[in-house]
Amino acid sequence: MGLFQKLKAGLQRTHSKLFHEIKRIVTRSPRLTGSSLEELEAALIGADLGYALTQQIIVAVKKAYETQGSGGVDVFTIAQGEVERSLATNDATLRRAPAGPTVVSIVGVNGTGKTTTSAKLAHLVQERGESAVLAACDTFRAAAIEQLKLWGERLQVPVVAGAYNADPAAVAHDAISAAQSRGAHYLFVDTAGRLHTKSNLMKELQKVHRVMDKKLAGAPHEVLLVLDATTGMNALNQAREFHKAVPLTGLVVTKLDGTSKGGMVVAIQKELGLPIKFIGVGEQPDDLQPFDPKQFAEALFSEKG
């Protein structure tokens, strides 16, 4: 399956709901008279596209009817264009350190998909012909270390792990050494899940980052916050709190395949001004994609594919 097909399949629930609702509205009322515009608005809000973007789309639709008349107006194309335009400045490039390994810290609350995302990222750079090392810095749960080791075996990526309950900063330190001596391009650091409201755990994360910077100036070069799309707009609060504790460089939104509210990606990007770097559309290694606004908008609204 090609990248776009995978994306389309992953966004199936969101697409299907949006598509059927909008189709029903415009079929019944092609000129969107009466309460039809309000229904269109509700459909867009229902996909979690957010209030601001929804208004933008409604305004664009109204304008199109005024200037083109009902014959030439395609609500899907207009919505797609507005979503694409509103995300145009999003830069999904994974940073690259000028020298030595690029260290990427993967942070977030429990169960959002940090460990899976770390492994998928290692796979993604391998596919690009670059090498990766994984660091198991979730030392709170023995199962988390095992989980990452299994991924390492499956993907043939070296995993640096400490003992259960070891100091995660020490594991991160050793992992940087290992990545340096292997001449690896990337080090992906899987950290423990922590509630954004627990300040002691946030301090621990700050320490992990401080120790990395001491070992390799500038590290971590990327701090990616993993957000679970099925938690909807709650993800916004998580992002705000994490961003206060450790400066984030980007977001990863996982489990888009499990929600009909995939529009939250757009709303969150708009609200936080942080780039969406990757999206997760399934549990397999190649179910993580660099975020491409054009393809995302197309997968949401287009009938194609």
Ligand X SMILES: Nc1nc2c(ncn2[C@@H]2O[C@H](COP(=O)(O)OP(=O)(O)O)[C@@H](O)[C@H]2O)c(=O)[nH]1
What tokens does 262 get?
Answer: 């995939």
- Please state, in angstroms and rounded to a whole number, the distance separating the CA atoms of residues 191 and 208: 9
110 touches, from Mg ion, ligand X, none (C-beta below 5 to 8 Å by class): ligand X
Backbone angles phi, psi at 252, to 5 degrees: -120, 125
Q: Can residue 115 be called a binding residue for Mg ion (CB under 5 A)?
A: yes
Q: Rounded to the nearest whole angstrom, what is the least distance from the CB of residue 226 to ligand X in the complex?
A: 6
What tokens does 231 get?
Answer: 């938690």
Query: What SS3 state is found at 21?
Result: helix
Single-letter amino acid code for the residue at 273: G
What tokens does 204 get?
Answer: 């621990």
Centre a 10 Å sphere on the Cβ of residue 131 and count the other Cβ atoms it contains.
16
Report the residue number, 194 or 261, with the smaller CB distance to Mg ion: 194
Yes or no: say if 143 and 186 are a contact pair by the CB < 8 Å rule.
no
Exposed, middle or buried by CB within 10 Å (0-12, 13-18, 19+), for 270?
middle
- The interface region with Mg ion, picked from 61-69, 107-115, 205-213, 230-238 by CB under 5 A, is 107-115
Report the residue number, 78 or 253, with the smaller CB distance to ligand X: 253
Q: Rounded to the nearest whole angstrom, what is the least distance from the CB of residue 116 to ligand X in the complex?
A: 3
Report the residue number, 100 or 282, with the smaller CB distance to Mg ion: 282
Closest by CA to 105, choosing from 125, 128, 121, 123, is 121
254 touches, from Mg ion, ligand X, none (C-beta below 5 to 8 Å by class): ligand X
Q: Minimal CB distance to Mg ion: which residue?
A: 115
Report the residue number, 40 or 288, with the smaller CB distance to ligand X: 288
Report the residue number, 3 or 150, with the smaller CB distance to Mg ion: 150
Q: Rounded to the nearest whole angstrom, what is the least distance from the CB of residue 254 to Mg ion in the complex?
A: 12
Q: Where along the sequence are the contacts to ligand X (CB under 6 A)?
A: 108, 110-116, 193, 254-255, 257-258, 280-283, 287
Report the residue number, 262 or 282, with the smaller CB distance to ligand X: 282
HSE value, Cβ hemisphere, 13 Å, CA-based, for 166 = 20
113 touches, from Mg ion, ligand X, none (C-beta below 5 to 8 Å by class): ligand X
Yes or no: say if 300 and 262 are a contact pair by the CB < 8 Å rule.
yes
- Please state, in angstroms and rounded to a whole number, the distance separating the CA atoms of residues 290 and 299: 14
- The interface region with Mg ion, picked from 58-66, 111-119, 152-160, 174-182 by CB under 5 A, is 111-119
Q: Can residue 144 be called a binding residue for Mg ion (CB under 5 A)?
A: yes
Centre a 10 Å sphere on the Cβ of residue 125 and count the other Cβ atoms it contains.
19
Q: Rounded to the nearest whole angstrom, what is the least distance from the CB of residue 182 to Mg ion in the complex?
A: 23
- Per-residue binding string, Mg ion, 19-58, x by CB under 5 A, is ----------------------------------------
Percentage helix, strand, coil for the chain under 3-state DSSP, each rounded to 5: 55, 15, 30
Report the residue number, 22 or 225, with the smaller CB distance to ligand X: 225
